[in-house]
Amino acid sequence: MVRPSDIDELGEGMLDLDWRRHRRTSEPGRARAVFLDRDGTLSEDVGYACEVAQYRLFPWTVPALRALRQAGYRVIVLTNQSGVARGYFPETMVQEVHRRFERELREHGAQWDAIYYCPHHPEGIVPAYRRMCACRKPATGLVERAAREFALDLPRCVFIGDKYTDIMLAHRVGARGVLVLTGHGREEWARSRKEGWRPPDHVAGNLWEAVQWVLSHEGGAECDATP
């Protein structure tokens, strides 16, 4: 049972090609994708946990990913993993977590197309990862690479996450953004209203509800950010 990422041209911390085994679209510029945050959105937010077993998928993640792929969406995960730069865990552990999640998803008939992650932080203590980069959300580097890899039409894409960095990133690339209230979502939503930030296109209770909204608004929709 399933329990509840300046881009370096060498691809450091970006995309493990072994994880993306699925065919790219044959229609350049026409593909659509749903970009998903990891911690707090796909899986429980366990902070800077240092054991792979501590990371657990939410129970609604499997049906949500199934529904997206059945509807023809690419499913792409983007996650900031500054714990690497901060010295809390090695980059290899990030990769182990992703492989574990991929195995669990496949066991239940679900999968993603790719997962991109950023291991950097400008205040990190590990020299190799201490930098200002173009891949740490809400910077657009990871999205730009995904768009090239999968020939995506970004205005047709949707970003789902529990942090406002996901919403900011969506708006920066001309896509729609959905804030989920799991993880840090509730506090982020409250803060955004207090600070007067540009609202997300929708606010959903969790990933499953967010996906249902995406599938019912495939042609685009006016902002209806009311929880």
Q: Which residues are catalytic?
A: 37, 39
Quote the tokens at residue 200.
């997300």
Is residue 165 within 8 A of residue 138, CB to CB? The reply is: yes
Task: Give 220: exposed, middle or buried? Use CB within 10 Å, 0-12, 13-18, 19+.
Answer: exposed
Give the 3-state secondary structure of residue 169. Answer: helix
Please say whether the beta carbons of 207 and 37 come within 8 A: no
The SS3 assignment for 6 reads coil
- Let me know how long the chain is: 227
What one-letter code names the amino acid at 61? T
Q: Taking the CA atoms of 14, 183, 43 and 47 in sequence, report the sign of the dihedral they define.
A: positive
CA 56 from centre of chain:
16
